[in-house]
Amino acid sequence: MMSPETLAELVDRHGPGLTLYARQWCATAEDVVQDAFVKLAGEKPVPQRVVPWLYRVVRNRAIDAGRAERRRRHYETRAAGRSPSWFTPGADSAIDGQVATAALLALPPEQREIITLHLWSDLTFEEIAAVARCSTSTAHRWYAAGLAALRERLNVHAASR
Amino acid sequence: MPRADDLEAALRGLTPVAPALDRDRLMYQAGRASRAGAGRCWAIAVGLLAVALAPLTIRMSLNRPEPRGQRMVVRVPSTAPQPLPHQPMPPPQPPLPYDQPPYLTEERGDHSPDVTYFRAEKSVLRWGLDGLPSSPAPPVPVRPADPLPRVRGRF
């Protein structure tokens, strides 16, 4: 059984990355992440690799939540235009958070997922492959393709400014 | 605009929006979930036992066996006397004289009425009516006691 201190540390450390990861599929990312932590607290025994396990649970639940949302409304068609920024405004970065969010949403889902996991959740490509259920080489390939697409898209935005 | 290598670093520099997680609610629900798991184990165990015992209970109540006597074989060694070869019965012997104490034997010549009665009683108790004498015993003559010699005048 997981101690409350360990659980709190996991929430503080991986909560933002998990929420960002869940936002790719659904608008209720916080609820999905919270359910994942509650599920982790009830797990006996505790999963050996807790972080990939958490991302796996968040992924499945976010996909289910996104499907439910799409049934209620055409979420995906309007998501890019109305989605709030995934990143804190005014952060010390050369890229605007809102622009980066739009560029990420324009990526194919598998590329966006792997870029998100690698850049903001600090998962290795082996862990990403376990979470996304693909091979490590596929994860590498999708990451490179997604990064190239982002570069192209951000250059377009940069030229339009 | 950053280059390809710098693009990765620039993207890493973006900070994800802090999730609006209700930390206290999350920890409370996590605690409930951890305890609910233990209770569920007991509930599952009790449920499985009840399900397993229910058909057995119904079967036992419906097919209650009648009490039956238990058949036992007891081997007892035979004590019946073995048939002896047929032999002619010996002629009846006269009753043997019973053991008499020496002071009652006739050799002593004691024929007092008490002794005679005692002998007859013992004979009947031992031999039955066959022990009675065929004829009543002759009366014992009572001899008068000798008079004491008169010695008074001699002194």
Mean pLDDT of chain A: 84
Each residue's pLDDT tens digit, A30-64 = 999 999 999 998 888 888 889 999 999 999 999 99
Torsional sign, CA A25, A26, A30, A33: negative
Residue B54 is predicted with a pLDDT of 92
Cis-peptide into A45, omega within 30 deg: yes
Q: Using CA atoms, how far apart are residues B70 and A136, in angstroms rounded to an integer? A: 76
CB A74 within 8 A of CB A91: no
Residue A137 is predicted with a pLDDT of 93
Q: Let me know whether A113 and A130 are in one domain.
A: yes
CATH number at residue A135: 1.10.10.10
Domain residues for the domain of A14 are 1-83
Q: Let me know whether A98 and A134 are in one domain.
A: yes
Q: Let me know whether A105 and A154 are in one domain.
A: yes
User: Chain B 14-53, CB below 8 Å of chain A: which residues?
Assistant: 14-23, 25-27, 29-31, 33-34, 36-37
Q: Let me know whether A7 and A40 are in one domain.
A: yes
Among A38, A64, A83, identify where a domain stops. A83
Residue B110 is predicted with a pLDDT of 61
Coil/strand/helix, residue A87: strand
Quick one: what percent of chain A has pLDDT higher than 70?
Answer: 86
Among A65, A83, A101, identify where a domain stops. A83
Number of structural domains found in chain A = 2
Q: Let me know whether A15 and A38 are in one domain.
A: yes
Q: Let me know whether A90 and A62 are in one domain.
A: no
Among A57, A83, A109, identify where a domain stops. A83
Q: Let me know whether A47 and A100 are in one domain.
A: no
Average pLDDT over residues A96-104: 88
User: What ipTM did this prediction achieve?
Assistant: 0.73
Q: Let me know whether A56 and A92 are in one domain.
A: no
Q: Let me know whether A63 and A14 are in one domain.
A: yes
Each residue's pLDDT tens digit, B85-141 = 777 777 777 666 655 554 455 555 566 778 888 888 888 888 888 877 776 556 666
**In the predicted structure, residue B1 carries a pLDDT above the cut 50:** no
**In the predicted structure, residue A105 carries a pLDDT above the cut 70:** yes
Q: Please name the member of A30, A41, A100 whose beta carbon is closest to the beta carbon of B30.
A: A41
Q: Please name the member of A8, A15, A100 whose beta carbon is closest to the beta carbon of B14.
A: A100
Q: Let me know whether A46 and A103 are in one domain.
A: no
Q: In terms of pLDDT, which residue wins out, B80 or B112? A: B112
Nearest to A161 by CA among B1, B40, B19: B1
**In the predicted structure, residue A159 carries a pLDDT above the cut 50:** no
